[in-house]
Amino acid sequence: MHFGFINVMKPPGMTSHDVVARVRRLTKIKRTGHGGTLDPLAEGVLPIAVGQACRLIDYLPSDKSYYAEILLGKKTATDDLEGEVLEEKETSHITSEQIEIALDQFRGEIKQHPPVYSAIRIGGQHLYDLARQGKAPEKAPERKVVVHELEIVFIAPPLVAISVHCSKGTYIRSLARDLGDSLGTGGCLSKLIREKAGLMTLSNSLSLDAIKDLVDKSEWQSLFTDPAMALGFEKVELDEPDAENIFHGRAIELESENGEPGRFLLGVQNGSYIALLKKLENGNGKPEVVFSDARVST
């Protein structure tokens, strides 16, 4: 059974759901899911889990890195160029120094209102559905996010290009909108490339055409990113008694070199992934996720 993660280069113009559906058709593997939505306008790294690796999506490193272009002077309903234009203002008076000063407030831990057109749920409904029905709140609920790094790539008003390394849940569309508001011009996102998602990078990503080619050639090892590499967890070799205990949900004894308590490890037997283990205070490894029939290769 195929098991692992595919580092997909999502093209602009497709939803993340569309990309998952395409990968599902290409690989003929029904159990497929993605780790971290990208808007249709955006492109770049979209981690896709295949087979029982879908059970590991929540354990993927959650930080992201982006290249973004912000267009000042235009305010839209969706906070990007795909939405209805709500307001346009002159930007010729805005200086590079003003932009640099304004960007300072978006570094570190910040409070952010996600776009009204987003996948956040309120009362069990997606905000974008409520927005299309005219029932969305004026602002989405505020949340705290962390912008670890924000660097200016270039400033050529009305365009501002930045690179951002941020925590899970950070909306670059909101950052574009808020930068425009702070300058008094309005602003929206005009381009977004996710360069990194956790440990997966753009340079190692695969286009949909490349995925089709690898599947056609049955080169499955080249298609998958090994779960240990994608998750950043070490492997621990299991013997037959250990595997039997894990299959029955029982903790096993781990060596002291297998890390500190609270650490996650991937249990492997005869080259096959057996389980995700969590090291306990007493040194034992508790099975968090068991996938007895999962394999990285055919």
SS3 of residue 130 by DSSP = helix
Q: Which domains does the chain have, with CATH numbers?
A: 4-61+199-229 (3.30.2350.10), 64-192 (3.30.2350.10), 233-290 (2.30.130.10)
The SS3 of residue 82 is: coil
Higher pLDDT, 105 or 133: 105
Rounded distance between C-alpha atoms, residue 180 and residue 172, angstroms: 12
Q: Which residue has the higher pLDDT, 160 or 121?
A: 160
Residue 140 predicted with pLDDT over 90 = no
The first and second tokens of residue 14, run together, are: 């497709």
Cα four-point dihedral sign 84, 86, 92, 95: negative
Confidence of residue 296 (pLDDT cuts 50, 70, 90): very low
| Confidence category of residue 36, pLDDT binned at 50, 70, 90 | confident
**pLDDT, position 21:** 96
Name the one residue in this structure whose structure tokens are 């690179």: 163
Is cis: bond before 115, omega within 30 of 0? no
Token match 């991937």: residue? 266
H-helix segments, the chain: 16-27, 96-103, 127-132, 172-183, 208-216, 220-223, 227-231, 240-247
Region 241-263: mean pLDDT is 89
For residues 66 and 163, is the Cβ–Cβ distance under 8 A? yes
Q: Residues 39, 79, 80, 178: which is the catalytic one?
A: 39
Most confident of 25-34, 114-123, 183-192: 183-192
pLDDT confidence of residue 193: 98
Assign 136 a pLDDT band (cuts: 50, 70, 90).
low
Sort strands 187-197 and 43-50 into parallel, antiparallel or unpaired.
parallel
| Class of residue 138 by CB neighbours under 10 A (exposed 0-12, middle 13-18, buried 19+) | exposed
Residues, the chain, total?
298
Average pLDDT (18-46) is 94
User: How far apart are the C-alpha atoms of 56 and 49, rounded to whole Å?
Assistant: 8
187-242 pLDDT per residue, tens: 999 999 999 999 999 999 999 999 999 999 999 889 999 999 999 999 999 999 99
pLDDT of 28 over the 70 cut: yes
285 contacts 254 by C-beta, under 8 angstroms: yes
pLDDT at 1 over 60: no
Contacting residues for 69 by C-beta, under 8 A, at least 6 apart: 159, 160, 161, 189, 190, 191, 192
pLDDT at 156: 95
pLDDT at residue 293, as a whole number = 64
Q: Please report the pLDDT score of residue 117 as a whole number.
A: 74
Looking at residue 294, what is its pLDDT?
43
Name the amino acid, one letter, at 228. A
In this prediction the pTM is 0.91
The stretch 262-278 carries a mean pLDDT of 93
pLDDT of residue 3: 80
Q: Would you say residue 297 has pLDDT above 50?
A: no
Has 39 been annotated as catalytic? yes
Is the pLDDT reported for residue 133 higher than 70? no
Q: What percentage of the chain has pLDDT greater than the value 90?
A: 79
Closest CA to 165 of 137, 124, 194: 194
- In the predicted model, what is the mean pLDDT of residues 127-137? 69
Mean confidence (pLDDT) of the chain:
91
Number of Cβ within 10 Å of residue 71's Cβ equals 22
* Three state DSSP letters for 147-177: EEEEEEEEEECCEEEEEEEECCCCCHHHHHH
